[in-house]
Chains A and B, each alone.
Chain A
Amino acid sequence: MNDVYQELERALREGFPVVLATVAATRGSTPRRAGAKMLVRPDGSFCGTIGGGCGEAEVCTEAMATLEDGRPRLVRVDLTNPIDGDDKICGGVMDVFVERVAPDGVTAPPGPSLPEGQASA
Chain B
Amino acid sequence: MPVENAAIVREALAALNGGPPVAVATVISGPEGPVEIGAKLLLRGDGSILGSFGRGPLEAAVVEAARETLQRHGIETFYFAVDGRRLTRLEAEGQRAYEVMIEPHEAPAKLLIVGGGHIGKALAEIGKLCGFHVAVIDDRPEYANRDRFPDADEVIRGRFVETLRDYPIDASTYVVCVTRGHKQDEVSLRQVVEKPARYVGMIGSRRRVSAVLQHIVEDGAPPEAVARVHTPIGLDIGAETPEEIAVAIMAEVLQVRRGGTGLPMREVKKPKRGVAPAERVPPGED
Contacts and interface: CB of A to CB of B under 8 A. Distances in A.
Interface of A: 1, 5, 8-9, 12, 22, 24-26, 33-35, 70-72, 74, 95, 97, 99-105
A12 B14 CA distance: 12
Contacts of B229: none
A12 B10 contact: yes
Contacts of A5: 13, 16
B1 A34 contact: no
A97 B28 contact: yes
Interface residues of B, number: 25
Contacts of A25: 77, 101, 274-275
**Interface SS of B by simple majority:** mixed
A99 B26 contact: yes
A19 to B, nearest CB: 11
Given A35-B75, A105-B3, 18 more contacts: A5-B16, A22-B101, A24-B28, A24-B75, A24-B99, A24-B274, A25-B275, A33-B274, A34-B74, A34-B77, A72-B37, A74-B28, A95-B77, A97-B101, A99-B26, A101-B5, A101-B9, A104-B7
Given A25-B274, A34-B77, A102 B6 contact: yes
B6 A12 contact: yes
Given A34-B77, A72-B38, A9 B13 contact: yes
Given A24-B77, A33-B273, A103-B6, A8 B13 contact: yes
Contact of B9 (A12, A70, A71): A12
A70 B1 CA distance: 7
Contacts of B7: 104
A103 B4 CA distance: 10
B38 A26 contact: no
A54 to B, nearest CB: 21
B11 to A, nearest CB: 11
Contact of A100 (B1, B10, B99, B275): B1
A24 B78 CA distance: 10
Contacts of A9: 13
Contacts of A99: 1, 26, 38
Contacts, number: 67
Nearest to A36: B75
A89 B38 CA distance: 31
Listed from nearest, the 8 A-B pairs whose CB atoms lie closest are A72-B38, A34-B274, A35-B75, A24-B101, A25-B77, A97-B28, A25-B274, A34-B75
Contacts of A100: 1
A101 to B, nearest CB: 6
Nearest to A30: B274
Interface string B1-25: 1010111011001001100000000
16 contacts: A1-B17, A12-B9, A12-B10, A12-B13, A22-B75, A24-B28, A24-B99, A24-B274, A33-B274, A34-B74, A34-B274, A35-B75, A72-B37, A74-B37, A97-B28, A97-B101
Contacts of A1: 13, 16-17
Interface in B15-47: 16-17, 26, 28-29, 37-38
Interface in B60-76: 74-76
B252 interface: no
Contacts of B76: 34
B138 interface: no
A26 B76 CA distance: 10
Nearest to A99: B38
Nearest to A34: B274
A10 to B, nearest CB: 10
B103 interface: yes
Contacts of B9: 8, 12, 101
